[in-house]
Chains A and B, each alone.
Chain A
């Protein structure tokens, strides 16, 4: 089944403890991206990647890192999480940047 898989679905952590949210797609998509969704603010793009080893900042990249070493994987790294990064995170992919986006089921992160 064609899908975007994010792990974990739920994560509670403490301030400053490094964490990684994984994202994998099995559709051979070139374009992948990360979003956070907050009440009243909608989805905001954190980082995106046009292809392997090509990444760029979105609207809210501060406090996040990404890497794209393989086409199928696009992990989101929080080196030193803070409470203002408590949010619902989504990974998405598309064949190319202007194709329909396919979303994962989300990761709800709580930083205390």
Chain B
């Protein structure tokens, strides 16, 4: 069974700092990996999706990379802002069509003004 791990569980940084969030998974047979943001009391918002054949995806100040062979992904946030404070989750989708999504437990990010 796929296991997805996110370390650290919580992170606090001063505004303006660049930071990296980590996601690791045990089974490299994935279709894609998604990064989500979750704000308190709200659902998850998809930030980036990386297909298994891709190495990275970028959106604004966010850059996600994928190393399938080592079972790792990183989410890079440039020039962090207080509005980036949220919980960030990664999820992998299995290779078999109709297979499940497996989520990590998330990294809670606080950006201090």
Q: Which residues of A pack against B, CB within 8 Å? A: 4, 33, 35, 40-45, 48, 50, 56, 58-59, 90, 92, 97-106
Contact = CB atoms under 8 A, between A and B. Distances in A.
Given A105-B43, A106-B43, A98 B93 contact: yes
A33 B99 CA distance: 11
A82 B31 CA distance: 35
A106 B38 CA distance: 11
Interface string B9-32: 000000000000000000000011
B46 A48 contact: no
A97 B49 CA distance: 12
Given A45-B101, A97-B97, A99-B49, 8 more contacts: A4-B43, A42-B103, A48-B100, A59-B100, A97-B93, A98-B51, A101-B91, A102-B46
A35 B51 CA distance: 22
Interface of B: 4, 31-32, 34, 36, 41-46, 49, 51, 89, 91, 93, 97-106
B43 to A, nearest CB: 4
A41 B4 CA distance: 11
A100 B34 contact: yes
A98 to B, nearest CB: 5
A105 B42 contact: yes
B37 to A, nearest CB: 11
B53 to A, nearest CB: 12
B103 A43 contact: yes
Nearest to B4: A42
B89 to A, nearest CB: 7
Nearest to A94: B46
